Structure formats: C-alpha cells, structure tokens
C-alpha cells in the first residue's frame, strides 16, 4: 500500500499544499491566479491570515492533481516555523483539524530545514555530509547537513538577508519592490568590474549585507550630484557590479567553509538560488575546486509545500511525529 | 529632541540618550529612507537591552520576535512591503500593540491610524555621508 503524506506550507506569503507518495511528489500546488480562477477570489500579495480563505481550495487542488482522495492520506506534515505567527497558525490549525478528523499522525517541519531537504525531491541528490547555502528574502544561512534530520547552522546573516539586499538596492536603482530579479536581468548586459563597492566581512562564516546597501546609497548620491541621469545611463553596469559584489560576499564564506570542513558536496537552496549570476558563479567554482554542486528546480527553491512534504517523509521514517499540543514557533531554530 | 550622530562610533552614546529619553514608551516608530539606519539603530537599542538574539531586518518576515534576559518578548515590525491597512490588520498588528510589550515599528506610515495615543516617534535623516540626525518626538 502506498504511503501518502499531505503537506501544508503557510509560513509567509505563499499558501501551498502538496501530496507526497512514498517520497515522490505527486502535486505541489501554490496559490496562484489559476487556482483562484477555479474557486473565485483574488490572490493577496501578503497572505498573513488571508491564508485561511485559500487553504481549502489549495488543498483540494493538490489532492485533485495528485489523484489521491482525502481518505487515502496516511499523515499530515505542516510548517511549524520559523515564520509569521498568524500565517503559521492557519496551517497548523488546518493540520490539527485534519489529523483529528481522519485520525492520521501529525508531523511538524522546520521551514529552513525543508528548504535544504528540497534537494531530495529529485535526482541528482547530494551525498552526506554536504554544505548548503540557503539564500532567500528573509534568510542567509550556511548549513552543514550530516543527515536528513541532522543539520547545523555554521553561519548566518547578522542583519539583512541577501535577498533583501538585492530588493532594497533594486529599489535605490529605481526598480519596483521587490525587484532583486531585475538586477539579475540588467546584470547580464553589464560589466561587473566597472564599479567597485566595499564588501563587508564579519568574523567566521557569518554574513552582513547592511553595509553594502549603505555603500551603494552613498555612491549613488554622490554620482547623482554630478549627473542626475547617472543611474539610467549606467543601469546595466551598476546592476552587474552590485550583483558581482553580493555574489563574492556569499562565495567567500562558502569557499572558506567548504575548505575548513573539507567538503566537496555543495548545495544551494531558497528563492535567491534562482539568480542566474549565482548559479553561473557556483558552476564556475565547482570546476575550479572540483566540487559537486546541486541546485534545485526553481519551483522547489521558492516557498512550496513539496519541500515540507519531503521533510515530513524523512521525519516519518524516523518516527519523529508530534501530538496535538504542538504550537507554531515564529522563532523556531534547529 | 534632536541629536546629531556624526559617525557609527557615536551610535552607542546616542542610543543611550534616546533610551533614557523614551523609557516611558513601549511603542517606538522609526521613520527614514532606505539606508538611513533604522535597523542598525534598533540593533544597538536591543544590544543595550541585553537581547541575546541576532537582530535582523524583518522586511521579508514582517515581524521578528526577540527575547530579553527576563524572557519578555520584543516585537520588531517592518511594514515596508505592506501596501494596505487591511494587510496590517491581517497581521494582527493591533493585537501585538495591545500586549504592552516593547514594539519597534519600521516604516510605520501605512499603520499610523492604528497607533495608540502614546508612542515615541524617531525620524532618522542622513543628509550627507555618515552623519545621521535623530529627531525624537513624544506622542501622548
């Protein structure tokens, strides 16, 4: 008999549900306009408690796409944290309700660990131990992954996440917010060596992206005094130079950490892993250092329930279940 | 009250003055452009309050929670990417404010009508290079 897990993700903006059968993803539904066209309503930009208006339709769609009925579910996995308390509450309450109604076990999942375990959705899968650089709008972490459930954070940002640095610098360049991906677009046509920005280095494997934001601000302000059109005239070179600096700051710590731990299995995860400059840079480094690198498919990089389901699957195999007293934890650590 | 902070080295001293001036207030709102130093200032305030947590920007997460040594929560909001007041309400913003716990709110403009009578308003202006001018106004 097949083992079916339903997974719910509602930690921040995305409402998502996924069906995992014997460790394989059958569906990964993320609230989108297309789901709404079927059930009606509008997609909010910030979900928060609005998750509750959408969760049923997203779950129904995930079951339908998977061809699995609600009575065939064997377990329910959900995001316990970290995230926004009001958003997490919707997912956890739904999970508890379904667990009681169908008498199936509950599995709590750490959202940041799930980003890393997204690498086990499809081949090629990394070999333990590996290093994972998890980069998103809210997080920047370097994690040593010894096993599915054995992970250790070796470094993280002391202030802004790298995705936030991209988005906020994008705003300074006149892009809409969040516009980090537009820096990536413009960087393709620009010269990464044209402008130099001071990168900030903090001790150990930690990161800091607040200083570069300020450095770009000062630089642009000075240049705009001399030429009011400075940004428009140099948009591609500015984008390329800024992106280059941010990538170098990430890679410096990744290289250091890989050397110190003597690890050649390198993975990246999180929404910013979609950045083409980061992907290209990593591929270049892997040739130079003889690393094996792993980059998940885009739909598994951004927030999604399939990664929660895969994490839930490995927790279930280890018997790591939780009971109905579980509560969301906005500050959940691992 | 207006305080000049010439360089980042002066920030601890400036922060100490502001904490002392605003000690009656639990709700602090912070205004200022991108890169003005709102998060950096809150990091220093939290450090002086002996918060052990890593104070990071909540621009994406919207709300961060920290713990003081007395295990009291501190809420750190960033409403930069919030576009409507109904989204602010959806976050449970008013309920957080009613806890009576320390709240720092960056980019408060969208939620101004939801603020209680009593709050501290801090504006940070960065007219040139490293200079920061802190304007602190007591409301209520």
Q: What is the DSSP string of B40-106?
A: HHHHHHHHHTT--S-----TTTSEEEEE-TT--EEEEEE-TT--SHHHHHHTTHHHHHTT-S-EEEE
Shortest CA gap B23–chain A (Å):
25
**Beta carbons within 8 Å of A15's beta carbon, 6+ residues apart:** A9, A30, A31, A47, A51, A54, A55, A58
**Residues of chain A with pLDDT > 90: what percent?**
86
Q: Is residue A104 in a domain? A: yes
Provide the chain B residues 76-135 that lie in CB contact (below 8 A) with chain A: 80-83, 87, 90-92, 126, 129
The mean pLDDT value of chain A amounts to 94
Q: Which residues of A touch B38 (CB under 8 A)?
A: none
Across residues A65-77, what is the average pLDDT? Answer: 98
pTM of the model as a whole: 0.93
Nearest residue on chain A to B95, judged by CA atoms? A86
The answer to whether residue A56 is domain-embedded is: yes
Choose the closest CB to B34 out of A158, A159, A171. Answer: A171
ipTM of this complex: 0.90
Q: Which of residues 28-47 of A touch B (CB under 8 A)?
A: 44-46
Q: pLDDT value at position A40?
A: 57
- pLDDT of B61 reads 87
One domain, residues A104 and A209: no
Residue A86's pLDDT is what?
87
Assess A161–B contact: CB distance below 8 Å, yes or no.
yes
Kindly state whether residues A159 and A270 are assigned to the same domain: yes
The count of structural domains within chain A is 2
Gap between the Cα atoms of A55 and A292, Å rounded: 38
Q: For A166-195, what is each residue's pLDDT tens digit?
A: 999 999 999 998 889 999 999 999 999 999
For the ranges A13-27, A47-61, A123-137, B37-51, the lowest mean pLDDT is seen at A47-61
Is pLDDT at B53 greater than 90 in this prediction? no
Mean pLDDT of B92-114: 95
Residue range A102-159, pLDDT digits in tens: 999 999 999 999 999 999 999 999 999 999 999 998 999 999 999 999 999 999 999 9
Considering only CB atoms, A84 lies closest to which of B39, B59, B62, namely B62
A291 with A143, same domain: the answer is yes
Summarize the confidence of residues B19-24 as an average pLDDT. 97
* Residues A61, A144 share a domain: no
Beta bridge partners of A144: A131, A152
Domain shared by A292 and A307, yes or no: no
Which residue range forms the structural domain that includes residue A74? 4-116+300-317
**From the candidates B7, B60, B78, B106, which should be mutated to test the interface with A, based on the most A CB atoms within 10 A?**
B60
Asked if B56 reaches chain A (Cβ–Cβ under 8 Å), the answer is yes
Residue A146 placed within a domain = yes
Query: Are both A46 and A184 inside the same structural domain?
Result: no
What pLDDT does residue A111 have?
Answer: 97
Q: Is B60 on the interface with A (CB under 8 A)?
A: yes
State residue A39's pLDDT score. 59
Report pLDDT for A34: 59
Region of poorest pLDDT, from A258-262, B63-67, B121-125: B63-67
pLDDT tens profile B130-139: 999 999 999 9
pLDDT tens across A29-47, in order? 998 755 656 655 555 556 6
Q: What is chain B's mean pLDDT, rounded?
A: 95
Same domain, A141 and A260: yes
Check if A208 contacts B (Cβ < 8 Å). Answer: no
In tens, the pLDDT along A218-270 reads 999 999 999 999 999 999 999 999 999 999 999 999 999 999 999 999 999 99
Tell me, yes or no, whether A327 lies in a domain.
no
Contact assignment for B92 to A85 by CB distance below 8 Å: yes
Quick check: is A326 in a domain? no
Interface test with B, best of A14, A44, A48, A270 (most B CBs within 10 A): A48
Average of per-residue pLDDT across B56-65? 90
- Integer CA distances (angstroms), A148 to A65, A90, A125, A127, A205, in order: 27, 27, 12, 10, 22
Give me the residue label for tokens 């109905």: A324
Averaged pLDDT for residues A79-88: 92
Q: List, in order of start, the domains of chain B with CATH numbers.
A: 2-101 (3.40.50.300)
Q: Determine the Cα–Cα distance for residues A60 and A83; give it in Å rounded to an integer.
A: 24
Domain CATH number, residue A64: 3.30.420.40
State whether A290 and A197 are in the same domain. yes
* Same structural domain, A143 and A60: no
Q: State residue A178's pLDDT score.
A: 86
């Amino acid at each position: 008999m097949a083992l079916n897990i339903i997974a719910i993700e509602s930690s921040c903006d995305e409402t998502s549900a996924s069906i995992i059968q014997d460790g394989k993803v059958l569906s990964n539904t993320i609230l989108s306009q297309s789901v709404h066209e079927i059930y009606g309503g509008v997609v909010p930009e910030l979900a928060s408690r609005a998750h509750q208006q959408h969760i049923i339709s997203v779950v129904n769609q995930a079951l339908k796409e998977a061809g699995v009925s609600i009575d065939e579910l064997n377990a329910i996995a959900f995001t316990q944290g970290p995230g926004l308390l009001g958003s997490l509450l919707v997912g956890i309450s739904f999970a508890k309700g379904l667990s009681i109604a169908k008498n199936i076990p509950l599995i709590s999942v750490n959202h940041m660990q799930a980003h890393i375990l997204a690498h086990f959705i499809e081949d090629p899968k990394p070999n333990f131990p590996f290093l994972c650089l998890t980069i998103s709008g809210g997080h920047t972490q370097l994690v040593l992954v010894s096993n599915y459930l054995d992970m250790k954070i070796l470094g993280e940002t002391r202030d802004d996440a790298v995705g936030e640095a991209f988005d906020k610098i994008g705003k300074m360049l006149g892009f809409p917010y969040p516009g980090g991906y537009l820096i990536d677009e413009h960087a393709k046509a620009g010269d990464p060596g044209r402008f130099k920005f001071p990168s900030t280095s903090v001790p150990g494997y930690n990161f800091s992206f607040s200083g570069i934001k300020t450095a770009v601000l000062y630089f642009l302000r000075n240049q705009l005094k001399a030429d009011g059109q400075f940004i428009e005239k140099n948009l591609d070179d500015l984008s390329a130079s800024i992106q280059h600096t941010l990538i170098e700051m990430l890679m410096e710590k990744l290289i250091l950490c890989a050397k110190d731990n003597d690890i050649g299995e390198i993975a990246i995860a999180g929404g910013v892993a979609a950045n083409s400059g980061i992907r290209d840079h990593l591929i270049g480094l892997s040739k130079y250092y003889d690393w094996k690198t792993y980059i998940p498919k885009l739909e598994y990089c951004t927030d999604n329930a399939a990664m929660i389901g895969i994490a839930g699957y490995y927790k279930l195999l280890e018997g790591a279940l939780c009971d109905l007293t579980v509560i969301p934890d906005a500050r959940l650590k691992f | 009250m207006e305080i000049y902070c010439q360089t980042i080295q002066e920030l601890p001293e400036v922060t100490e003055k502001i904490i002392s001036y605003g000690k009656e207030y639990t709700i602090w709102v912070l205004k200022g452009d991108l890169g003005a130093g709102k998060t950096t200032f809150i990091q220093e305030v939290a450090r002086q309050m002996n918060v052990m947590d890593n104070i990071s920007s909540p621009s994406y997460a919207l709300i961060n929670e920290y713990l003081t040594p007395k295990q009291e929560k501190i809420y750190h909001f960033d409403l930069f990417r919030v576009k409507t007041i109904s989204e602010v309400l959806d976050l449970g913003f008013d309920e957080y404010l009613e806890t009576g716990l320390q709240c720092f709110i960056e980019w408060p403009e969208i939620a101004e009508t939801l603020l209680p009578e009593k709050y501290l308003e801090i504006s940070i202006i960065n007219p040139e290079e490293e200079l920061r001018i802190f304007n602190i106004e007591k409301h209520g």
